[in-house]
Structure 1
């Protein structure tokens, strides 16, 4: 397989940006688990305990990491991304050409590939999938932003698809390696969007066998599969006969089912358990998440957080190092920007995120917030009391936010914790009750900033339209490597200078694995790859 070099000097720079900068995003303690010297043993069922129900298994609609871990086994993508270098590699597309201004991308598809329902993976299927992403609109939180300026897809011939945009789209090639743009069978696309969440049909190495809400998802090996990524360790069918993803929200229970041998791997290993596994004879696979760190995202439409001084004071009141030292482990890092340090075009703005309670107090004093009898600041008879909505998929979230609440109380801010599930978060958002949302976003490309902060795409940006939208548009249209990195740097500074986000720590995905497991790896977005995985016993 060969990749046709893109025409034009500017497009070479686009690929160079993905290669040279994404290479910085490939940290972690292991590239995979198990010995490469042993001969793979086909068969068996790998049991994995995950922290939350996937909710939806349709690539453009899915938002939870547990869903992506399952979907990576069911769906193939046009391209793949090398987790070591960031380079874009062939998968369903054996080669591609990019137009001189990155407004057109022509993909040459692998022949003989089929979806699990027997339909061919051809240019018409590529067109149907991309058209459907646009139709989904807001239901497709991530994928719809990847198709910024989408003009349409032309079926050149059965195995050639030309995707066109109204303006340059510097991030699109990398986007074709994400699970959000995994290809579904046209028959599946004909169903209502909600139905696709429960009945996925892809071209992947596994097919859905059984889905039990809040209990488990089981996928089984697809017979005759013969088109893995060019990065795969072997060609042909998956080694494993099946994979069972068990939904186990409680970290202590997840730890117990691994140590007792009921499962062979668990995701979302928590800090206290990580230490136990590293010392207790288990394999630990970890990689830093590229994208956005865990942060408080303020709703600037709420009365108290519309004031920039309040938002910036809260950022100064947070001791990020203490969060990592007290609650987490050395595997995690204090945030030093709104991009994680493993993301292309990251800029170290750590000095702007220093713990500065005196500076926080000065900002609040200047904004008219005076300490009340109980230490909580008041203004015009109203306390500086704010809520934060969060889910507990990452178990330390509660402990971390309790610590943040203690830190902020010292500067006179009352932070009220509101743990919710996905439905509860949606309800609170619909009722406009949210002051802060807490979370992170993962993608091995800085365009994740546009996905999250552009008011053109995300209602959860909680921002009014500003000149930041123009800079985010400029980022995706800039083809030159250095030029795009400069724009991304400006965006990071703007987000922090205006208090549009309050970063706290960089997440690492940590997977605990039995020594019986071989060949399990993580992709650049820290999701499980299981095509090459096998059980030694």
Structure 2
């Protein structure tokens, strides 16, 4: 057409002009560019895409206790101190927004000198007043003053028990005092030897006072403003979370200019997207797909030598299921099948404290599948008392399989929670139904989303009989594995265990400064609760330990600087492509 001919003539003229200008000097080339006679390709934005199975449950660090929310906050927020996750397996505490600190002789007061020249993403300065504002906000949401209004936007912070003594009555922090523009003192109500470890937890990371409501939570459609290497942009529910690089970051800038969490809830679809290189880092690679990633020249599969710190277990409703019920159920489970067929690659879970954490008790003998023992436990409660308990091949095999002892006891089957979207949980529940039928226990399932599960566990735990769940430490002391899960003052004690002996041991551990002595206490707790050789006791088997995962990360072969760590924390700051990190 005439139009196309004119465009071709124009393009040829521009090319000729560009060649002439290039020959006459760079200044003329720049003139041509500015006049629009020569078009440059826009610089490619360096973007990293993380393939994830879920989005954040909340943006607010004060009430966060799930990994998808942590993943968002860790890119945007920083604390006074943090773990050096690049130094495996030591993970020592290092400065972040604080540069130095020191204790008084009684170990109940600690001062922090703060980093100068740091600004929040909204341009406001970071200083001692900001630290006090944040710590006072934590105190508000753990209800130190007692005037917290439970109105849906300012209810009790989910991890509030972390900030109290083991009895759940006295807050660890008393107050925060501003000494100067860049120096604060935190006074404690009692010596708490794990306080620096506690400060590494996300709830005490620092948000901007200018952009954050003090007495209500940041809503899921709100803004998250910190000092970290990435600025939070947006969250599109079940689709993506977007960030961009903080160009005013106080440390070396990260390599990637844009960060995207691409959310693909379906595990198979997410794995396929990873194989198609639609993302750079793939979370939740299934055991079935792992060999395919291993054989791919386009992917790196990295496994730490140690099992990770994730504790996968079945939590029993201890208020409904007494110690004998829990003995029976714990010995009816086919743990080997779960480890080798359903949740592979994995190893048997520890007795709550991971094998790689000081204080782990390797001498504990955990329950294994023993249907005869499980039936004998049922008989101690009067169920099938005259039947042959032998398995397999007992004379009353058909009677055991036909029984419905749960319905006979409560008028309803034993209820198994099913996490919506979790195929592995569904498979475990199917196995449990078959296993429990061998001892005459009938089952049913209730489907819950993750948010529904958390709300049920926190506010109405009696509505759940048994649930499969994973727990990872908030900080690297075994106290944080035991106290949240086994202390009746904890919102995470969905098992509702209330054992005074355990509470006394936990209270003693919290004030035992000697690490070896403290670890001995942790070992006593594990033996008392989980050792199958001991005589029946009140608190036994609050959980059935299932699996400890293997610390495996899968990512694109071009992605470097991945911070492999057993804590399961996602650190994008250190990642880069090419030969040289920006960090």
Question: What is the TM-score normalised by the length of structure 2?
Answer: 0.77
2: distance between equivalents of 1:478 and 1:505?
Answer: 30
Distance 1:116 1:380, change over 3 A: closer
Mind listing any 5+ residue stretches in structure 2 that lack a counterpart? 1-42, 143-154, 166-171, 388-398, 531-538
Query: How has the CA–CA distance of structure 1 residues 532 and 373 changed in structure 2, closer, same or farther, with 3 Å as cutoff?
Result: closer
Q: Distance in 2 between matches of 1:171 and 1:219?
A: 33
Contact kept in structure 2, 1:42 and 1:240, CA below 8 Å: no
In 2, distance between residues paired with 1:508 and 1:108?
38
Instruction: Tell me the secondary structure at the aligned position of residue 437 of structure 1.
Output: strand
**Among candidates 516, 521, 526, match of residue 487 of structure 1:** 521
Pairwise mapping of residues 447-526 of structure 1 onto structure 2 (< 5 A)?
Answer: 447-448=479-480, 449-458=482-491, 460-464=494-498, 466-496=500-530, 498-526=540-568
- Contact residue 332 and residue 508 of structure 1 kept, 8 A: yes
Alpha-carbon spacing, 1:396–1:75, altered in 2? closer, same or farther (3 Å) = same
Three-state SS of the structure 1 residue aligned to 2:463 is: coil
| Partner SS, residue 425 of structure 1 | helix
Taking the aligned partners of 1:337 and 1:455, their CA distance within structure 2 comes to 18
1:77 positional shift? 1.6
Contact kept, 8 Å, 1:114 with 1:203, in 2: the verdict is: yes
Match of 2:129 in 1: 124
Runs of 5+ consecutive residues of structure 1 not aligned to the other structure: 1-40, 228-235
- Deviations for 1:248-275, whole angstroms, at most 9, x for unmatched residues? 1111110121122222221111211222
Compared CA separation, residues 373 and 337, structure 1 to 2 (3 A): closer
| 8 Å Cα contact 2:175-2:187 kept in structure 1 | yes
Could you report, residue by residue, the CA deviation over 1:461-487 in whole angstroms, capped at 9, with x for unpaired residues?
Answer: 423363322222222221111111011
Q: TM-score, normalised by structure 1?
A: 0.84
Does residue 311 (structure 1) correspond to residue 326 (structure 2)? The answer is yes
Measured in 2, the distance between the counterparts of 1:113 and 1:132 equals: 21
CA contact (8 A) 2:323 2:541 kept: yes
Aligned counterpart, 2:570: 528
Tell me if the contact between 2:118 and 2:227 (Cα under 8 Å) persists in the aligned partners: yes
Q: Do residues 407 (structure 1) and 435 (structure 2) align?
A: yes
1:293-304 maps to which residues of 2 (within 5 A)?
293-302=311-320
Q: Hey, what does 1:49 align to over in structure 2?
A: 51
The count of corresponding residues between Structure 1 and Structure 2 is: 485
Q: Distance in 1 between matches of 2:552 and 2:508?
A: 35
1:332 is aligned, of 346, 357, 377, to: 346
Contact 2:335 / 2:546 at 8 angstroms: preserved in 1? yes
Q: 1:247 aligns with which of 263, 270, 274?
A: 263
- Kindly state the Cα deviation for residue 94 of structure 1 after the two structures are TM-superposed: 1.4
Is 1:172–2:195 an aligned residue pair?
Answer: yes
Distance 1:427-1:57 versus aligned 2 partners, 3 A rule: closer
Q: 384-393 vs 252-261, which deviates more?
A: 384-393
In 2, distance between residues paired with 1:381 and 1:518?
58
Matches within 5 A, 1:5-44: 43-44=45-46
Q: Is the 8 A contact 1:454 1:461 kept in 2?
A: no
Which secondary structure does the structure 2 equivalent of 1:353 belong to?
Answer: coil
Aligned to 2:301: 284
Question: Which residue does 1:270 correspond to in 2?
Answer: 286
Give the conservation status (yes or no) of the 8 Å contact 1:270–1:396. no
- Give CA-to-partner distance per residue, 1:194-219, whole Å, 9 cap, x none: 33543111110001112111111001
After superposing the two structures, state which structure 1 stretch, 89-98 or 236-245, moved more.
89-98
| Bigger Cα displacement from structure 2, 248-257 vs 320-329 | 320-329
Indicate whether 1:346 and 2:363 are aligned: no
Greater radius of gyration (CA): 2
2:51–2:270 Cα contact (<8 Å) kept? yes
Alpha carbons of structure 1 residues 191 and 94: separation in structure 2 relative to 1, 3 Å: closer
Query: Structure 1 390/152 Cα, relative in aligned 2: closer, same or farther at 3 Å?
Result: farther
Give secondary structure in 1 for the equivalent of 2:61: coil
Is the 2:239–2:262 Cα contact (8 Å) retained in structure 1? Answer: yes
Equivalent residues in 2 for 1:114-153 (5 A)? Answer: 114-137=119-142, 139-142=156-159, 144-146=161-163, 148=165, 149-153=172-176
Contact 1:92 1:110 in 2 (8 A): yes
Distance 1:249 1:510 in 2: 19
8 Å CA contact retained: 1:289, 1:442: no
Matched residue, 2:392: none
8 Å CA contact 1:188–1:196 kept in 2: the answer is no
- Structure 1 pair 521/393, CA: closer, same or farther in 2 (3 Å)? farther
Distance 2:442 2:217 in 1: 39
CA drift of 1:334 comes to 0.7
Question: 2:51, 2:264 within 8 Å by CA — same for their partners in 1?
Answer: yes
